[in-house]
Structure 1
């Protein structure tokens, strides 16, 4: 990050922490907007677009090497109009130009670097470039010279290339595969494709680098439940075990880093992203419900404690990211030496070091990344220690090291902007955890966040903003903002029994359909109708680190529509799912969120409507109801002491306790079984439903 000396550039007025990090670069940066492109047209200069985000290690490297370099900055200012974009703040811009970079180079990543015409049409691009040529890679200074020369001597070719690129991007947005029938075969095919990419030694998909892919594992748990393929469950558990034991997990503070640079999850790229943790919590929860492995539940608890401690704003809402670097060094905040641990832990150090792979030479660049390579059973046998004693020593040591880390080390930078989509995901994670874990702090955190988002990040017309920072809301909400918040509010309404959240989800769904759904093509678009006109209006089709907005919207509408019996929501979701059905067949690993929606569409879905005699009984019975893995089911608990929800009136009508006892009505596809009366009968029937897969 640049030091604050000299005169700042235009980015000093931006709220994005990433943009402000570049406010004192000698580069004459513009934020994205009309001023930059008007200046480019006036001076007949190409535009250099640099896209990154605050937690990105290589973004910081390119800034230090090139954007703070006086001679390179001089060339940039002389030959180009330079635009800096925070990809988290402008995912629409990022998606368009990342597609261009992938078309040019065959790969993408951040920092993303794009050269384009004054009309915004990209003609060349790449990612990180070193300042000077090295190891077969052109230096950024030489690239600037070549682009300048080519623009000066062959401008029409650059413009023509840019127009061709726009056409190619547009074709990629609108292309559709021949439709496929929406049936179970698509789910079986997806399960097979995921398992073909499985690493059965270390877990995860493929080789290095290794990303978590939570939506893939959520889908495998669903297909295990539907088809009974034990290999699917086995692989999910293998991966979750390896990740929770690996260096990608913060064994002191909780939470997962973005990805591992190696095959065995040891060396993370140390940045922590809200969206990764928001997606991993539900997967570990599902795995816990399916297996009753307490380790998975502990991982959930530790991760949510981390989010509440380090990623939650006082007024409500969750921050976006934590940096990979501390004091300019990647991972410095998280790694240890053996001598440090021995000094801090004293007589506990020997056992702690044996458990967490701590050695004199370390396991990464002379330091140790804490990880658990040995199982607890093997450790107990090797150390000759009782399990309870080992647990006490490790917990005592964890608290000591965490306290020391927080008090004596400079923490990584934190991007404190609040993004609706990521907050919606984390809201859903908290709501799902509330259903399993009785925690007042979870409920308070979730309620406060939902209230903040609904009160502060909606405009006068009830439409969402995308980003909030320093009291300022920025940019109209995108498709995934609506979809994620709708799902989060739906989950929360049931978890805390407040209909106002369900009502808000219904209202936002109406707005989402009006603003983003194109009836003619039966498809969702990523930007709202009145959004700034970019070179193309994109469709967010494929899942990446975050599932696609289209797939999230389909799933959210199915879930909410089935709950409140809204035929319009279900019809839109069905039509949009049919539109992408060919892609579900041919590229299933990029469409797992849509396949989760297909699983729900195919059903059978069911509701467990639990009528309790008084409000005091609610919390206990709700957790007991949610203690089994029955993923296509919705649990609604109503007290006879409170008015029935108007949105669920049709489902609740005529249902009451029998003989004053807790009574459950199990309804599938609109048909209800005989009521289950009394908790003994309810518990027995629930345990039968939660055992194994649907086909067992």
Structure 2
């Protein structure tokens, strides 16, 4: 029976449980709102049941801790008592950290874009108590603006529609859910169907299409706001490694974008690390939040540029310096504890810095000519201002502008900059600093493991490989819950937990992207270290993903953690094949399936990868910018990928052969090296069974004189083994060229 409209505004506050329930939540974003007068609840069955009991809509607000505009709307509306009272009286407010619940964010972002034509955060969505969306938008101001109503106007209009046109509201909500279900079915991927053949001409066509949207002067693609196109850059670098009529174009586009970002305000010129995006087309005014997923991907891309020996507009030594500083920033700024052995990496640094109780976007990173002179003295301060484009008028706010040279520095300029950098870092470190979101996300740490492992090898920094192994140990120890024994009270299936706080995993199981990114990281770590335990953990993750995310042959991003999300997508499991800030889960899963098939010889997993790679033809022909990782994996599939097995005893020769392979830009190359089994390379937790050798190394023997040699193979069919770095390089280049 419907609950009657309260006779006065205060009566709704008499409901049991009418209070802000976020104070005990581990999410930094949710805790940011724990003192709001809004009666926020975390996403879950209890909150929706409360809405059903009151017969009122749900107001769903989605954001994340580092989000500048989330802070703005919180201050303007959620901290306002009158607004909070109206919201509490007529809705059940729910707050979601999109980084903890990407399944919730994804489906309601699709609904928001369908309803309003725009997307972003904070996301504001109005739902039925069953979880169906019927009205949505992003940021709403406290007072009306041209083309955008105030938040109070939106609340009043939705409340009025709920009371006066309830049937129409619910019918529209059901229609939207049905439409999203139809879209999911149209984009479905069935892994039990024969894959379509992959035509490598598609890859050249994608390069041509990307060239049409490139900004050749500013770097990147399209106009402002401009995001780092990490997945597209990975595809372009892989394509550039394979001789074709478009490989030079791919190399040039990648180089221009990498150079422009490295010399811009997007890249922190003092600390290393990259901001989330730029609000200007020339990368001169960044949006200052710094995310682990961006920096892990960009670290790997710059390392792959060094490995490509791309040079041109971005010399390899400059790219190596950018990569090295990015790696340092990741470990120093996001690491928990010792940078050499971090207990997981935090998610982000905030876009804002709180100064005297007031949020200022990017305040920690802004300089004026006067602040530079105060830190360096008049002579060096004026020179640094000229070099880093710091003028009298701030480009971000009255607090100043970010440092950025916009061009390659000369030798003299580089010496000046390297001399003054330490003093500027010290001066900046003395300022108030942006807050850090300490939650550890499994998938993003998987991306970082792959990047750090490869960076350690290519940049000759073994301490980065050690850090990657420490991260991998943390994921296995904290995030991985192995299968329980038969008869145990807990569930028997192993599961990867998505998020941990303070060394304790909690919340939902990982999404497809978490399993895929972690498996990618473990396989990269195996290639670098030769420790079979990393291969076996990747194998477990791949097996777990197949069990968890493939139902009746159909691949999905999640497993229906919430009935409300399932309802909102028309009671059909969803799959988004498009890249966003990170590669899509489907594309990443295709990559690990392809690599695993190369290591294991599994025809089944190769076919599954091929089924996902049937997606690029329709996508790449329209929008290659959102299919970069699929295209990168397709490039690897076209190349084979080449499989390399290094046999023979450990020693200097084996190390040289192994290092030469890891320095190769061959797309998707998988590398296995024989190593003496370490003490912890035996049985995996809960298995009790000694693990066999990786199949690619089976029957790969040393040379007759006992020296190491390399077998280069495709589909486990190998050429005659090679014994020198020179002949290995020549043969690998020939195989990569096709």
Deviation for aligned residue 1:497: 2.0
Does the Cα contact within 8 Å between 2:601 and 2:716 map onto a contact in 1?
no
Deviation digits for residues 279-320 of structure 1, max 9, x if unmatched?
111211111122251111111100000011010123521110
Match of 2:709 in 1: 663
Seen in structure 2, the aligned counterparts of structure 1 residues 324 and 635 have a Cα distance that, compared at 3 Å, is: same
Shift of 1:340: 1.7
Q: Which one of 94, 98, 106 corresponds to residue 109 of structure 2?
A: 98
CA distance in 2: counterparts of 1:348 and 1:657, whole angstroms = 61
Report whether the alignment pairs 1:246 with 2:273: no
Pair 1:647–1:197, CA change in 2 (3 A)? farther
CA deviation profile, 1:466-519 (whole Å, cap 9, x unmatched): 111133422111110101001100101121221001001111111100110134
Q: Which moved more, 1:82-91 or 1:610-619?
A: 610-619
Q: Equivalent residue for 1:606?
A: 642
Q: How far apart, CA to CA, are the structure 1 residues paired with 2:452 and 2:128?
A: 45
Note the 1:290-309 alignment, pairs <5 A.
290=308, 291=310, 293-309=316-332
* Inter-partner Cα distance in structure 2 for 1:584 and 1:48: 37
3-state SS of paired residue (1:114): strand
User: Is residue 686 of structure 1 aligned with residue 700 of structure 2?
Assistant: no
Distance 1:624 1:460 in 2: 36
| CA displacement at 1:211 relative to structure 2 | 0.6
Instruction: Report deviation, 1:601.
Output: 2.3
Q: Please say if 1:133 is aligned against 2:155.
A: no
Q: 1:360 and 1:530, CA in 2 relative to 1: closer, same or farther beyond 3 A?
A: closer
Q: Which piece of structure 1 moves more, 470-479 or 635-644?
A: 635-644
Q: Pick from 251, 258, 283: which aligns with 2:301?
A: 283
TM-superposed CA distance for 1:83, in Å, is: 0.6
Residue among 173, 186, 192 paired with 1:175: 186
- Contact kept, 8 Å, 2:700 with 2:711, in 1: the verdict is no
Greater CA drift, 640-649 or 409-418: 640-649
Q: Choose the corresponding residue for 2:37, options 14, 26, 51.
A: 26
The residue number in structure 1 matching 2:365 is 334
591-600 or 262-271, which deviates more = 591-600
Q: Does 1:638 align with 2:674?
A: yes
CA contact (8 A) 2:276 2:288 kept: yes
Q: Is the 8 A contact 1:228 1:693 kept in 2?
A: no
Find the aligned partners of 1:284 and 1:420 in 2 and give their Cα distance.
Answer: 23
Aligned partner of 2:687 in structure 1 is: none
For residues 371-450 of structure 1, what are the structure 2 equivalents within 5 Å?
371-377=404-410, 387=411, 390-406=413-429, 408-450=430-472
1:248, 1:425 → 2: CA distance? 20
Q: Distance in 2 between matches of 1:548 and 1:56?
A: 21
Taking the aligned partners of 2:733 and 2:627, their CA distance within structure 1 comes to: 27
The alignment of Structure 1 onto Structure 2 pairs a total of residues equal to: 673
In 1: Cα distance, 2:651 partner to 2:559 partner:
42
**1:47-58 equivalent positions in 2, closer than 5 A:** 47-58=58-69
Q: Is the 8 A contact 2:498 2:509 kept in 1?
A: yes
Alignment of 1:192-271 (within 5 A): 192-226=208-242, 227-229=244-246, 230-271=248-289
Residue aligning to 1:524: 555
Does structure 1 retain, via aligned residues, the 8 Å contact 2:112–2:125?
A: yes
2:561, 2:64 → 1: CA distance? 26
Aligned with residue 344 of structure 1, among 369, 375, 390? 375
In 2, distance between residues paired with 1:688 and 1:673?
10
CA distance in 1, matches of 2:562, 2:657: 46
Q: Which residue, 110, 113, 127 being the options, matches 2:121? A: 110
1:599 Cα deviation after fit: 1.9
Aligned counterpart in structure 2 of residue 625 of structure 1, from 661, 669, 683: 661
What 5-or-longer segments of structure 2 have no aligned partner? 1-17, 190-194, 484-493, 683-690
Say if 1:177 and 1:582, in contact at 8 Å, map to a contact too: no
Residues 191, 232 of structure 1: 8 Å contact kept: yes
TM-superposed CA distance for 1:117, in Å, is: 1.1
How many angstroms apart in 1 are the aligned matches of 2:613 and 2:671? 25
Q: Secondary structure at the match of 2:93?
A: strand
SS at match of 1:559: helix
Q: Are the equivalent residues in 2 in contact too, given 1:255–1:272 (CA < 8 A)?
A: yes
What TM-score do you get using the length of structure 2 for normalisation?
Answer: 0.87
Q: Tell me, yes or no, if the aligned pair for 1:180 and 1:585 is still in contact at 8 Å.
A: no
Q: State yes or no: 1:676 paired with 2:722.
A: yes
Deviation, 1:349, is 3.0
Measure, in 2, the Cα distance between the counterparts of 1:508 and 1:243. 34
SS, match of residue 632 in structure 1: coil
More displaced stretch, 205-214 vs 642-651 = 642-651
Aligned to 1:513: 546
1:618–1:638 CA contact under 8 A, matched in 2: no
Residues 611 and 640 of structure 1 are in contact (CA less than 8 Å); yes or no, is this contact kept in structure 2?
no
Structure 1 window deviating more from structure 2 (534-543 vs 50-59): it is 534-543
- Give, in whole Å, the separation in 1 of the partners of 2:210 and 2:709: 41
Q: TM-score, normalised by structure 1?
A: 0.92
Q: In the alignment, which residue of structure 2 is the partner of 1:184?
A: 200
* Distance in structure 2 (CA, Å) of the matches to 1:546 and 1:478: 13
Q: Deviations over 1:239-284 (max 9, x none)?
A: 1000000000100011000000001000000000111111111211
> Which 10-residue stretch deviates more, 249-258 or 332-341?
332-341
Residues 338, 360 of structure 1: 8 Å contact kept: yes
* Residues 501-546 of structure 1: CA deviation (Å, up to 9, x unaligned): 10011111111001101344xx310112676562132212211112
Superposed CA deviations along residues 564-588 of structure 1, whole A, max 9, x for unmatched, are: 2222322222223336654344443
Normalized per residue, the structure richer in helix is 1
Distance 1:639 1:125, change over 3 A: closer
Q: Is the 8 A contact 2:601 2:695 kept in 1?
A: no
CA distance change for structure 1 residues 612 and 61 in 2, over 3 Å: closer, same or farther?
Answer: same
Match for residue 359 of structure 1 among 377, 391, 397: 391
Q: Write the distance in 1 (CA, Å) between the matches of 2:623 and 2:323.
A: 31
Q: Distance in 2 between matches of 1:609 and 1:472?
A: 36
Q: Which moved more, 1:298-307 or 1:574-583?
A: 574-583
Structure 1 unmatched runs, 5+: 1-6, 378-386
Task: For 1:567-586, list aligned pairs within 5 A.
Answer: 567-578=603-614, 581-586=617-622
How far does the alpha carbon of each residue in 1:28-73 deviate from its partner, in whole angstroms, 9 at most, with x for none? 1111011111111111101110000000000000000000011100
CA distance in 1, matches of 2:562, 2:409: 54
Equivalent residue for 2:523?
A: 490
Aligned equivalent of 1:12: 23
